[in-house]
A and B are shown apart, each in its own frame.
Chain A
């Protein structure tokens, strides 16, 4: 038996009032930590996939949509643009390099992107098995796609039209898997990648059958990813394109920070609420301790007559409070990790994104500090009361 054990026994002796303070604290800490984790994980994922893309050129529409579609592959594209016009942009002297992107088909919900081989280099993708494509209708498959759909080298994938699983399946032929990519923790993990020619070709034949009025000679692409020679160009060049052409130019870093500002407002409001919950938990802890001091005053007097010092008794009270707040912190962090796992599984289902990191953030160490502080503050008055307690008077009143 020692003072620390006694504190724990005292907590378990009052399971109801202890658990109220505890669950409030778990909720508060859990929400804040969950918000911090999600914010960081999503931001990391977004920044990770930016990969120095300075500008995206696509069809007119929402700039955010264009970025989400062609950088993050989570929204529908704004439309198609003519290859000729896009190439005019890419030949501008300010442009360092450009990558064409073509959408059109999906295989069981995973997007098939027609693009150049340097797209894979942009995301530092490496081949795990097989090789890159040499002919149309040959594809490289991202790690999440083959893991989930159990795709092997040499498989033939019959694609469907559009970007969702419900699209019409193509009747003729399919894509042959010639290579599997290593996991790269970037967007290419969830893509099926092929040459631009494959996409042009499959839609050409497709169009022949259904629609004769189509202009076959004009090739179209969905978007073009552009890197500038100098970062200075990021200010004037996109505006030039938007004002003088039929194309839309959007700057990913700008759109993403705008998106996070919108997010940020919600996150901030929620965390204020969570801090409020933490304060309430501290208050309920204080009331519990204060009441239990009254109920236990004879007990305290007894412990003093047994020879315990004032200091030992006060320490016991502070221990009781700290045991509760620190376990509240630990359980809150666990709660948030389960939350992250849950949100991640939701996101993976809907947009094939996965967030998996269980490292402790710096802000979470602050939360530990906050929990300890709450534990000390809420036990301070009861501890001082016990310190000043007049044992003789309490025992004489009994």
Chain B
């Protein structure tokens, strides 16, 4: 259950955003589409609790985000949200497996079986002990998906996951994301300017 109402945000009283309301039932995925500069990333950061809205309400799984302290937001995020970034980020001093272990440690979990099954599911199990900078672009993207879902989030937020990909890879990645979300019982919200993704989602809003 993801419900937002009249969410507004401004940067230093200069750039002003007013966002459409979102009303998402459990098991529903959502595509948020819009051109550059309409506040896509801002909306994603608001949903992830990385930014706080100036007014309006964001309710994720019956929790009103604006009422949480920044420490509570950190805790909410590690228990409920997985983020796939436009450009994959990792802790470079660690291997793929250690990155996932770190994510689990932060969420007070420790489950190597889950790490193994996720990596196998994403077809990068043989890269477990590679440093992340030794991976190819495709492998990096899959590893960053693994990082987003390792703590069994209820919501996966993906920021422009396909913008730099050709048509074939674009559809591959979005199918992979949707499969991971269903396999691990999470909802998926993709934020993008890439109109190729429209056909993959039943529900979408345009900013």
Question: Residues of A at under 8 Å CB distance from B?
Answer: 1-3, 6, 9-10, 12-13, 296, 298-299, 301-310, 312, 391-392, 395-396, 398
Not counting A303-B106, A398-B87, a sample of 19 additional A-B residue pairs whose C-beta atoms are within 8 angstroms of each other reads A3-B105, A9-B98, A10-B93, A13-B92, A13-B93, A302-B89, A302-B90, A304-B74, A306-B102, A306-B151, A307-B77, A307-B79, A308-B74, A308-B106, A312-B106, A392-B51, A395-B41, A395-B50, A395-B85
Binding site for A on B (CB under 8 A): 41-42, 45, 48, 50-51, 70-71, 74-75, 77-79, 83, 85-87, 89-94, 98, 101-107, 147, 151
Q: Are A299's CB and B89's CB within 8 A?
A: yes
Contact of B104 among A1, A301, A302, A309 (CB under 8 A): A1
**What's the count of A-B pairs with C-beta under 8 Å?**
77
Among B71, B78, B98, point to the contact of A306 (Cβ < 8 A): B78
- Given the known inter-chain contacts A13-B92, A301-B89, A303-B91, please indicate yes or no for A392 contacting B50, CB distance below 8 A: yes
Closest residue of B by beta carbon distance from A7: B93
**Chain B residues whose C-beta falls within 8 Å of the C-beta of A296 in the assembled complex:** 92
| 19 A–B pairs (Cβ distance < 8 Å), ordered by A | A1-B102, A1-B105, A6-B91, A6-B94, A9-B93, A9-B94, A299-B89, A299-B92, A302-B85, A303-B91, A303-B102, A303-B106, A305-B48, A305-B77, A306-B106, A307-B79, A391-B50, A395-B45, A395-B85
Residue of A nearest to B52 (CB): A392
Chain A residue contacts of B85, Cβ below 8 A: 302, 395, 398
In the assembled complex, the Cα of A299 lies from the Cα of B147 at a distance in Å of: 13
Distance in angstroms from A156 CB to nearest chain B CB is 71
CB pair B89 A298 closer than 8 Å: yes
Flag if A12 contacts B93 (CB, 8 Å): yes
A175 → chain B, closest Cβ, in Å? 70
Q: List residues of chain A with CB within 8 A of the CB of B106.
A: 303, 306-308, 312
Nearest CB in chain A: distance from B77 CB, A:
5
Closest chain A residue to B103, Cβ basis: A306
Chain B residue at minimal CB-CB distance from A11: B93
Contacts of A396 in B (CB 8 A): 41-42, 45
Which residue, B45, B50, B86, has most C-beta atoms of chain A within 10 A? B50
> Is A299 within 8 A of B91, CB to CB?
yes
User: How far apart sit A302 and B92, CA to CA, in the bound complex (Å)?
Assistant: 11
Is the beta-carbon distance between A307 and B51 smaller than 8 angstroms?
Answer: no
Do A307 and B102 touch (CB < 8 A)? no
Instruction: Specify which chain A residues have a CB less than 8 angstroms from the CB of B94 in the assembled complex.
Output: 1, 6, 9
Residues of chain A with a CB closer than 8 A to B103's CB:
306
Q: Which of A304, A308, A392, A398 contacts B86 (CB 8 A)?
A: A398
B107 touches A307 (CB 8 A): yes
Which of A2, A3, A306 contacts B107, CB < 8 Å?
A: A306
Bound together, the chains give a CA A299 to CA B131 distance in angstroms of 14
Contacts of A308 in B (CB 8 A): 74, 78, 106
Q: How far is the CB of B9 from chain A (nearest CB, A)?
A: 10
- Residues of A near B48 (CB, < 8 A) are 305
C-alpha spacing A312/B102, complex, angstroms: 12
Which residues of A are found within 8 Å of B151, using beta-carbon distances?
306-307
CA distance A312 to B105 in the complex (A): 12
